[in-house]
């Protein structure tokens, strides 16, 4: 089936892709489910601005009225921000139903990768990826993000996996599925709010040009999956490792006590961690997204130089 008949690519994005100019995809779950209004809209627009300042075209991705959108207007971003959690958090399993019902959906890492690939966009900046949840050996709670990384050829620039997850098992899962995990300027997996995790990534690379070259070769070889670039949060915005882990442990205990599970888990945990850290985690979240947008834009530009 040709999914492109359901796809609307913004004219600016379509022109940039056609001309071989750098484009960076952005997800929309961070707008609807990641933070409160109006901070969510302000952050989304600022991320787009940062990408433009680094000579790339931003393409925020969502599902609106059953249309797969690659590139949103300011009004559409504002709409998603105001609707907030009333908009479905759309993963791969939700895509066909939302399109058929002409409904709205905020795209996760998974669906952003899918729609970006349909639109010819190769680089995607996000906050953190999903992964294997703690206790997954009994719950089987594993993010669809990991499967998508194994099958969709998009480079994802993130600040590592959220430390609410089982980071060791997340790396094992990615290895099994053939997804290279690259540390930008580090050999240690960053853990979203903090620069440290105690776990080692597969490779360290120190320039956008190195990242672009690796992805270019992957595409030339016809390898089917993506690549994961883990970009540590800047030192000045990083949170104390012990403080954040204590907050996460407490949040997980509360989630278990309240029977929170499935797609409700991550939003609950992030909101609880924000509450327990006095809002510091939200500030860190915003700054790491800005940092990832800069690196993604520079990498997209370097990739375009390779033809």
159's tokens = 């600040």
Q: Which residues are catalytic, by number? A: 27, 162
What pLDDT is stored for residue 294 in this prediction?
98
What pLDDT is stored for residue 6 in this prediction?
96
Residue 261's Cβ-count burial label (10 Å; 0-12, 13-18, 19+) is middle
pLDDT by residue, tens only, the chain of 307 residues: 345 799 999 999 999 999 999 999 999 999 998 888 999 999 999 999 999 999 999 999 999 999 999 999 999 999 999 999 999 999 999 999 999 999 999 999 999 999 999 999 999 999 999 999 877 777 788 899 999 999 999 999 999 987 778 999 999 999 999 999 999 999 999 998 899 899 999 999 999 999 999 999 999 999 989 999 999 999 999 988 788 778 778 877 888 889 887 667 777 777 777 776 776 777 888 999 999 999 999 999 999 999 7
Helix 208-220 / helix 280-305 crossing angle, nearest 10 deg: 60
Residue among 287, 289, 293, 279 at smallest CA distance from 36: 279
Domain with CATH 3.40.1790.10 in the chain: 1-121, 126-307
Q: Count CB neighbours of 66 within 10 A.
A: 15
CATH of domain 1-121: 3.40.1790.10
What pLDDT is stored for residue 1 in this prediction?
37
Classified as helix, coil or strand, 69 is: strand
Contact 116, 60 (CB under 8 A): no
What pLDDT is stored for residue 256 in this prediction?
80
What pLDDT is stored for residue 38 in this prediction?
94
* Sequence-ordered strand ranges (E) for the chain: 7-9, 23-26, 57-64, 67-70, 88-90, 105-107, 123-125, 155-158, 181-184, 203-205, 227-230
What pLDDT is stored for residue 3 in this prediction?
55
Calpha distance 230→292 (Å, rounded) = 9
CATH architecture, domain 126-307: 3-Layer(aba) Sandwich (3.40)
What pLDDT is stored for residue 282 in this prediction?
79
Buried b (16+ CB within 10 A) or exposed e, 195-223: bebebebbeebeebbbbbbbbbebeeeee
Residue among 298, 84, 280, 299 at smallest CA distance from 211: 299
Contact 151, 224 (CB under 8 A): yes
pTM of the model: 0.92
Calpha distance 288→133 (Å, rounded) = 22
Calpha distance 235→293 (Å, rounded) = 17
């Amino acid at each position: 089936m040709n999914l492109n008949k359901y796809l609307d690519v913004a004219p600016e994005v379509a022109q940039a892709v056609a001309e071989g100019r750098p484009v960076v995809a952005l997800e929309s779950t961070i707008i609807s489910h990641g933070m409160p209004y109006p901070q969510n809209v302000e952050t989304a627009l600022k991320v787009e601005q940062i990408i433009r300042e680094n000579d790339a075209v931003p393409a925020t991705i969502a599902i609106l009225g059953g249309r797969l959108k690659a590139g949103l207007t300011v009004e559409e971003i504002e709409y998603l921000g105001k609707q907030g959690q009333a908009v479905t958090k759309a993963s791969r399993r939700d895509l066909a139903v939302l399109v058929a019902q002409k409904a709205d959906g905020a795209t996760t890492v998974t669906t952003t990768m899918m729609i970006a690939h349909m639109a010819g966009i190769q680089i995607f900046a996000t906050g953190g990826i999903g992964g294997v949840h703690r206790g997954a050996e009994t719950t089987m709670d594993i993010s669809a993000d990991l499967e998508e990384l194994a099958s969709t050829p998009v480079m994802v620039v993130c600040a590592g996996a959220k430390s609410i997850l089982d980071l060791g098992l997340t790396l094992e899962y990615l290895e099994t599925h053939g997804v290279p995990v690259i540390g930008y300027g580090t050999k240690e997996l960053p853990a979203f709010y903090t620069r440290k995790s105690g776990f080692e990534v597969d490779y360290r690379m120190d320039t956008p040009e190195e990242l672009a070259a690796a992805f270019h070769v992957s595409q030339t070889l016809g390898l089917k999956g993506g690549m994961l670039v883990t970009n540590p949060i800047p030192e000045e915005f990083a949170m104390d490792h012990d403080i954040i882990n204590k907050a996460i442990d407490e949040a997980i205990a509360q989630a278990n006590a309240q029977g929170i599970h499935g797609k409700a888990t991550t939003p609950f945990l992030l909101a609880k961690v924000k509450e327990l850290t006095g809002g510091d985690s939200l500030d860190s979240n915003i700054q790491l997204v800005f940092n990832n947008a800069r690196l993604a834009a520079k990498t997209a530009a370097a990739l375009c130089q390779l033809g």
